[in-house]
Structure 1
Amino acid sequence: MNNSDSNKILIKLVENTETPGTPVVLAGQTSASLEITKEMREYTSKTTVDANDVPVRRYMPTRSTISISVESLYDPTGTLKQDEIFEMCYNGTKIDFVMGDSIAGSKTAKGSGFISSASGSFSMDETASASFTIDVDGGLEFETIS
């Protein structure tokens, strides 16, 4: 997921179907961000202390909430275009994604989810732009490219 060069692939998407396809690059993408929030359950008691007998709180990690935000500019030459992403969001289509670049030794995050929000800006005399949010359904799989 490290993009040392700002021109690397940030995210690839494909509709999640019974006959899986290969995720393709979202055309015109300018940035992407991954946010992982881990819920913590406190299990402190009256006798929970550290090595110096100072009362402390103890936590145990539980569920994760994961979302991905993507920004893009309209690119009519790309394989996966903004209008297709808007349609996937509207239809509640489950998608598969891969986030990261494709250079050997790089790490990617893979998973599936739903596009929970899609917004566009279509200003006169400017390139159309869009923002999308993917809510990950399940977890992430981290993979090193070989």
Structure 2
Amino acid sequence: MGEIRSLKAVELNFQELVEELKKWFIEDNFNAQVLKMEDGRTLVQIEKQGSWRKIVGMSTALNVILSQEAQELKIEIGPGRWIDKTASGIISMLLFWPMSITAILGAWDQMNLPEQIFKYISSYISSHCKNEQKQ
């Protein structure tokens, strides 16, 4: 289950936004890749760096899909690998109960990440686009 939002983005340089978003993820210790989808939308796949995170259930992965029509930017954010959280959480609780804490922390990070992404994109648009101010 994901979240979808649309933002007004007058004169948005779409490619620049995608590159800045990717850069922001990398600076926050994510692996990030940008892919063009068959329908023309842009997919930014992200995953928190560190193979140890996968082992202990703290791997955070999301798909961010961006598309632009006229003066509007559509943002869709959804989970990339919720199954890791569930599987490692169950295994951790059964075998190593202290590791269940790391699975919970990983899930918490993933739950909060979409809002951080929306805020980053909104801030980017506010500072880079000529959107009309409401009075």
TM range (shorter): under 0.3
Q: Normalized against structure 1, the TM-score is what? A: 0.24
Q: Which one has the bigger helix percentage? A: 2
- Name the one with the larger strand percent: 1
Query: When the two structures are superposed, what TM-score results if normalisation uses the length of structure 2?
Result: 0.26
